[in-house]
Amino acid sequence: MEKIKMTTPLVEMDGDEMTRILWKMIKDELLTPFIELNTEYYDLGLEYRNETNDQVTVDSAEATKKYGVAVKCATITPNAARMTEYNLKEMWKSPNGTIRAILDGTVFRAPIIVKGIEPTVRTWKKPITIARHAYGDVYKGSEMKIPGAGKAEIVYTAEDGTETRELIHNFTGAGIVQGMHNLNESIESFARSCFNYALDTKQDLWFATKDTISKKYDHTFKDVFQEIYDAEYDEKFKAAGIEYFYTLIDDAVARVIRSEGGYIWACKNYDGDVMSDMVATAFGSLAMMTSVLVSPQGYYEYEAAHGTVQRHYYKHLKGEETSTNSVATIFAWTGALRKRGELDGNKELMEFADKLEKATIDTIEAGKMTKDLALITTLENVTVLNSEDFIKAVRETLEKMM
Ligand code: NAP
Ligand code: MG
- 75 and 193 together in one domain: no
Report CA-CA distances (Å) from 326 to 74, 315, 353: 12, 16, 15
DSSP 304: E
Which ligand 1 atom sits nearest the alpha carbon of residue 19? 18
The answer to whether 44 touches 92, Cβ cutoff 8 Å, is no
- CA neighbor of 131 nearest in space, from 106, 167, 102: 106
To test the pocket of ligand 1, the residue of 306, 370, 385 to mutate (highest count of ligand atoms within 8 Å of its CB) is 306
Would the pLDDT of 327 be above 90? yes
What is the spatial distance between Cα 307 and Cα 59, in angstroms, rounded to a whole number? Answer: 22
Percent of the chain having pLDDT more than 70?
100
146 within domain boundaries: yes
- 245 and 333 together in one domain: no
pLDDT score recorded for residue 109: 93
- 124 and 243 together in one domain: yes
Pocket of ligand 1 (CB under 6 A): 74-77, 96, 286-287, 303, 306-311, 324-325, 372
The pLDDT-based confidence of 362 (bands split at 50, 70, 90) is very high
Domain boundary among the residues 283, 312, 329 is at 283
Q: How many domains does one find in the chain?
A: 3
Q: Lowest mean pLDDT: which of 144-158, 274-288, 376-390?
A: 274-288
Angle at 87 between CA 84 and CA 93, to 5 degrees: 85
The pLDDT-based confidence of 65 (bands split at 50, 70, 90) is very high
- 331 and 226 together in one domain: no
- CA neighbor of 68 nearest in space, from 285, 218, 277, 292: 292
Would the pLDDT of 315 be above 90? yes
pLDDT score recorded for residue 97: 85
Q: Lowest mean pLDDT: which of 141-145, 314-318, 364-368?
A: 141-145
pLDDT score recorded for residue 296: 81
- 339 and 382 together in one domain: yes
Structural domain boundaries enclosing 166 = 142-179
For residue 364, give the 3-state DSSP assignment: helix
Mean pLDDT of 83-95: 95
Mean pLDDT of 303-319: 96
- 382 and 319 together in one domain: yes
DSSP 138: G
pLDDT score recorded for residue 297: 85
The pLDDT-based confidence of 147 (bands split at 50, 70, 90) is very high
- CA neighbor of 131 nearest in space, from 33, 16, 12, 244: 244
| Residue nearest to ligand 1 atom 31, measured at CA | 76
| Residue nearest to ligand 1 atom 13, measured at CA | 309
Among all ligands shown, which has an atom nearest to the Cα of 270? 2
Expressed in angstroms and rounded, the spacing between residue 270 Cα and the centre of ligand 2 is 9
136 within domain boundaries: no
Domain boundary among the residues 258, 283, 308 is at 283
Among all ligands shown, which has an atom nearest to the Cα of 92? 1
pLDDT score recorded for residue 71: 98
Would the pLDDT of 280 be above 90? no
Q: Lowest mean pLDDT: which of 26-30, 91-95, 237-241, 337-341?
A: 91-95
Distance of CA 56 to the CA centre of its chain: 21
Q: CATH number, domain at 382?
A: 3.40.718.10
Q: What φ, ψ does residue 161 adopt, rounded to 5°? A: 95, -5
- 253 and 123 together in one domain: yes
End-to-end CA distance of the chain: 9
Expressed in angstroms and rounded, the spacing between residue 249 Cα and the centre of ligand 2 is 18
The pLDDT-based confidence of 310 (bands split at 50, 70, 90) is very high
Would the pLDDT of 295 be above 90? no
To test the pocket of ligand 1, the residue of 277, 309, 321, 326 to mutate (highest count of ligand atoms within 8 Å of its CB) is 309
- CA neighbor of 114 nearest in space, from 352, 330, 365: 365
The pLDDT-based confidence of 188 (bands split at 50, 70, 90) is very high
- CA neighbor of 322 nearest in space, from 12, 6, 21: 21
289 within domain boundaries: no
Expressed in angstroms and rounded, the spacing between residue 207 Cα and the centre of ligand 2 is 19
- 124 and 256 together in one domain: yes
22: which residues sit within 8 A by CB, 6+ positions away?
Answer: 324, 326, 329, 387, 391
- 312 and 342 together in one domain: yes
Mean pLDDT of 342-370: 98
**E strand spans, 44-113:** 69-72, 106-111
134 within domain boundaries: no
- 82 and 24 together in one domain: yes
Pairing of strands 289-294, 106-111: antiparallel
385 within domain boundaries: yes
Expressed in angstroms and rounded, the spacing between residue 273 Cα and the centre of ligand 2 is 4
- 123 and 247 together in one domain: yes
| Residue nearest to ligand 1 atom 23, measured at CA | 307
Mean pLDDT of 64-72: 98
Radius of gyration of the chain (CA): 23
288 within domain boundaries: no
To test the pocket of ligand 1, the residue of 22, 98, 308 to mutate (highest count of ligand atoms within 8 Å of its CB) is 308
Expressed in angstroms and rounded, the spacing between residue 117 Cα and the centre of ligand 2 is 22
- 25 and 93 together in one domain: yes
Neighbours of ion ligand 2 (CB under 5 A): 273, 277
Which ligand 1 atom sits nearest the alpha carbon of residue 74? 40
What is the spatial distance between Cα 246 and Cα 243, in angstroms, rounded to a whole number? Answer: 10
pLDDT tens digits, one per residue of 5-46: 999 999 999 999 999 999 999 999 999 999 999 999 999 999
| Residue nearest to ligand 1 atom 36, measured at CA | 307
Expressed in angstroms and rounded, the spacing between residue 307 Cα and the centre of ligand 1 is 4
For residue 162, give the 3-state DSSP assignment: coil
133 within domain boundaries: no
